Amino acid sequence: MDWECVLQGIEASVEPMRGQGKVADYIPALAAVDPRKFGLAVVLGDGTQSCLGDADELFSIQSISKVFTLSMALRVVGDTLWERVGREPSGSPFNSIVQLEHERGIPRNPLINAGAIVVTDHLVERLGSSKTIAELLDRIRRLADDDSIKVDQAVAESESLAGERNRALASFMKSYGNIKCPVEETLAAYFCHCSIAMTCRQLARAALFLAFDGCDPISGQQMVSSQACRRINAVMMSCGHYDNSGDFTYRIGLPGKSGVGGGILVIAPRHGAVAVWSPGLNQAGTSAVGSLALEALVKATGWSVF
Ligand code: DON
């Protein structure tokens, strides 16, 4: 594949759209990011990295962190995880509470806020809040081969100050017995993992194991079982973009996860991992220009799984 040519094509197709969408402002620390930023990184199984624009600039990975906590929880907790969280698309916004009342406090899937809070609660129950974050960071740093990756504390504090909806979700689930730790302890870990700052290059590199049956092809480390890897990809494909998941799959045809920081991670099974960042979001909280760039990438590479 002529990557230079592929990247040039993507750049040309997104250039007129740069700055589109609305930067998330419900977390005040995210509101100040320049909406014209755009970065993209592709990391292949042989370690080849191809990057575009602001691919080496740090951004808040937000909900993309849910893929890493899910991977860690499937390893630490195993399949009992699914007793407290489902695996159906919600068709609702990422922070919605409506389904929880009819569904006994069991969230639809681990990638909406309520489900990710349950996943984090599982980890905090076993490891405690600070060790959960320390171990998560350790895994991400090893995968990305970069010790500098850390939580942006200013974003974490801002999230906590603006976190009443997540407190409501966690307290509501606790009333059904589906949150085991004190709400503030679980949320402290949740706010921290959402506030991890990474570059597109680091993110694509760290997620490469998901394209290769759970085994990082460069280090040879088996991060999750091949069965867990298939399941994580399936959940990303069906639930990775909340009420925008169907449209994303229709347009891009790859398992993916978006975050309100404007990042999107996609997995191209047996090829590699791609991370794109552009802070302007569509109505469902997915990067508007980022998803256009991915559409162009899939068109040029034929990587859609369909
Ligand atoms: O809990 C929140 O609202 C944020 N920390 C994460 C939300 C998010 O990224 C949703 N994604 N599109």
Residue 91 has pLDDT above 90, yes or no: no
Alpha carbons 156 and 35: distance in angstroms, whole number:
21
Provide mean pLDDT across the span 129-144.
98
The complex's ipTM works out to 0.97
* Domains of the chain as residue ranges with CATH: 3-301 (3.40.710.10)
- pLDDT computed for residue 93 by the predictor: 86
Ligand 1 pocket member 105 (CB < 6 A): no
Euclidean distance between CA atoms 219 and 146, whole angstroms: 13
- pLDDT confidence of 136, banded at 50, 70, 90? very high
Side-chain half-sphere CA neighbours of 72 within 13 A: 26
**Of 41, 60, 51, 44, whose CA–CA distance to 274 is shortest?**
41
pLDDT band at 297 (very low <50, low <70, confident <90, very high): very high
Got the DSSP string for 10-22? HHHHHGGGTT-SE
N- to C-terminal Cα separation, the chain: 20
| C-alpha of residue 116 to centroid of ligand 1, in Å | 10
11 is known to lie in a ligand binding site? no
CA distances from 182 to 105, 129, 144 (A): 16, 10, 32
112: left (phi over 0), alpha (psi -120 to 50) or beta: beta
The response to whether residue 95 sits with its C-beta less than 6 Å from ligand 1 reads yes
Sign (positive or negative) of CA dihedral 197, 133, 173, 81:
positive
Pick the atom of ligand 1 nearest to 64's CA: 9
Question: Which ligand 1 atom lies nearest to the CA of residue 285?
Answer: 12
CB-based contacts of 91-97 (< 8 A; 24+ apart in sequence)? 91/243, 92/242, 92/243, 93/242, 93/243, 93/284, 93/285, 94/63, 94/242, 94/260, 94/284, 94/285, 95/165, 95/166, 95/169, 97/165, 97/168, 97/169, 97/172
> pLDDT (tens digit, 9 = 90+) per residue, 48-88?
999 999 999 999 999 999 999 999 999 999 999 999 999 99
Among 27, 33, 63, residue to substitute to test ligand 1 (most atoms within 8 Å of Cβ): 63
Pocket test for ligand 1, best of 25, 61, 94 (most atoms within 8 A of CB): 94
279 lines ligand 1 (CB under 6 A): no
Whether 210 and 273 have beta carbons less than 8 Å apart is answered as: yes
Specify the pLDDT at position 152.
98
Question: What is the pTM assigned to this prediction?
Answer: 0.97
Token digits of residue 240: 């990775």
Check: CB of residue 285 under 8 Å from CB of residue 243. Answer: no
Cα of 2 to ligand 1 centre, how many Å? 35
Write down the mean pLDDT value for the chain: 97
pLDDT for position 40: 98
Is 190 labelled a binding residue?
yes
pLDDT at 16: 95
Q: What is the pLDDT of residue 183?
A: 98
Tokens at 302, concatenated: 């034929």
Pick from 25, 60, 62 the residue to mutate for probing ligand 1's pocket: most ligand atoms within 8 Å of its CB: 62
Does residue 63 have its Cβ closer than 6 Å to ligand 1? yes
Q: Is the four-CA dihedral 167, 172, 178, 182 of positive or negative sign? A: positive
